[in-house]
């Protein structure tokens, strides 16, 4: 079946603009995770959902970052008033209810100019 998909794949925005990054998990996966990966580093946890409930948002850097998953499927990560330091690869992963394995999508490369 199809894997995790993310859109857009690339996003260039000007400092101060808001951006919304979308993640479509593997069909049937109840858990959805957002990570941020800097070049040459491992993914850094941001937040995750079980169904539509946000379970942990301790990794969100500040209150400009928010995420939602209103129907327990597609999720959106929103960054308000973007700053240059927000430039990174944003990755989404999902896992099924009975397993712990997380499967990553291709990521969205965000560049803030």
Partner 1 sequence: QQQVKQSPQSLIVQKGGIPIINCAYENTAFDYFPWYQQFPGKGPALLIAIRPDVSEKKEGRFTISFNKSAKQFSLHIMDSQPGDSATYFCAAPPDSGGGADGLTFGKGTHLIIQP
Binding site for partner 1 (CB under 8 A): 31, 33, 35, 40-48, 50, 55-56, 59, 91, 95, 100-107
Q: Using the minimum distance from each CB to partner 1, give the nearer residue, 47 or 82.
A: 47
Residue 97 carries which DSSP code? S
The least CB distance from residue 76 to partner 1, in Å, is 18
Q: Using the minimum distance from each CB to partner 1, give the nearer residue, 27 or 55.
A: 55
Q: Which residues contact 3 (CB under 8 A, 6 or more apart)?
A: 26, 103, 105
The least CB distance from residue 40 to partner 1, in Å, is 7
The least CB distance from residue 72 to partner 1, in Å, is 15
The least CB distance from residue 92 to partner 1, in Å, is 9
User: What separation in angstroms does the CA of 9 have from each of 37, 51, 65, 96, 108?
Assistant: 14, 24, 19, 24, 4
Task: Tell me how far apart the alpha carbons of residues 104 and 113 are, in angstroms, rounded to a whole number.
Answer: 27
Cβ atoms of residues 48 and 30 within 8 Å: no
């Amino acid at each position: 079946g199809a894997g995790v998909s993310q859109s857009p794949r690339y996003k260039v925005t000007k400092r101060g603009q808001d951006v919304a990054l979308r993640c479509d998990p593997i069909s049937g996966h109840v858990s959805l995770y957002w990570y941020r990966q800097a070049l040459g580093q491992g993914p850094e946890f941001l937040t995750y959902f079980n169904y539509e409930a946000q379970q942990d948002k301790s990794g969100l850097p500040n209150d400009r970052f928010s995420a939602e998953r209103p129907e327990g499927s597609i999720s959106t990560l929103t960054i308000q008033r973007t700053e240059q330091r927000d430039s990174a690869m944003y990755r989404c992963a999902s896992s099924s209810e009975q397993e712990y394995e997380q499967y990553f999508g291709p990521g969205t490369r965000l560049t803030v100019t």
